[in-house]
């Protein structure tokens, strides 16, 4: 009787051992599916977020100046590419609504459309190249339809005479003309002869609007 019970006990113990081994093997196989540790934060500061053309951000809560200059670093406009520390003067402005970077103080000399494209292509604003003329949609997105003289968002940090600015968008109905946007009064789109005088306001970045020419 003692031998019979012992043999049965060994059989039960062996079965339990095999079950434990199988269970352990299954857990090991499932190991790689488990996360290696606590997930890292996916949060990003607003300066790193790409522009979204569906946004409407406050431009009137920027700096009172003088350092950084008036209008810098509002919800919408971030002054960037500063030079001349310790009293840094920003050369450009990042528009958080569109993700485009604009010259803070564009040239006040009028020029033809052809020269404006060349000027922007060769620009080194903020010790950086890669500038271009904006498309008509990009310049209209910077302008404020409710503002006048200039037609720019309230509290903006730009320094400029604010006149008629060339865009890279050509007039589809006239090969000799291209579109310009006036911000001197209310925002107005005007088809100008490519040899006529207007200003150049260069922009940097691929943008979210139509591809620049």
What is the pLDDT tens value at each position of the chain, 213 positions in all? 444 445 555 455 555 555 555 554 544 454 555 555 555 554 445 455 566 778 899 999 999 999 899 999 999 999 999 977 667 799 999 999 999 999 999 999 999 999 999 999 999 999 999 999 999 999 999 999 999 999 999 999 999 889 999 999 999 999 999 999 999 999 999 999 999 999 999 999 985 444 445
Predicted model pTM = 0.75
> Residue ranges per domain, the chain?
97-204
Domain made up of 97-204: CATH architecture: Roll (3.10)
57 contact partners, CB below 8 Å, separation of at least 6: 74, 75, 76, 96, 97
């Amino acid at each position: 009787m003692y031998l019979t019970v012992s043999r049965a006990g060994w059989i039960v113990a062996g079965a339990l051992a095999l079950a434990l081994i199988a269970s352990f093997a299954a857990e090991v196989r499932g190991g790689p599916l488990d996360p290696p540790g606590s997930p890292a934060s996916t949060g990003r500061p607003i300066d790193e977020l790409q522009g979204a053309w569906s946004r409407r951000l406050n431009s009137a809560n920027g700096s009172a100046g003088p350092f950084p200059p008036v209008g810098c670093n509002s919800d919408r406009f971030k002054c960037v590419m500063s030079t001349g520390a310790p009293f840094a003067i920003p050369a450009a402005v990042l528009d958080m609504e569109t993700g485009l970077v604009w010259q803070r103080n564009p040239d006040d000399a009028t020029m033809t459309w052809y020269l404006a494209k060349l000027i922007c292509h060769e620009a080194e604003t903020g010790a950086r190249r890669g500038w271009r003329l904006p498309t008509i949609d990009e310049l209209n997105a910077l302008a404020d339809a409710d503002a006048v003289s200039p037609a720019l968002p309230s509290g903006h940090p730009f320094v400029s005479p604010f006149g008629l600015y060339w865009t890279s968008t050509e007039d589809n109905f006239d090969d000799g003309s291209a579109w310009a946007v006036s911000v001197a009064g209310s925002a107005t789109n005007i088809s100008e002869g490519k040899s006529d005088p207007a200003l150049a306001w260069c922009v940097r970045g691929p943008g979210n609007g139509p591809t620049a020419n």
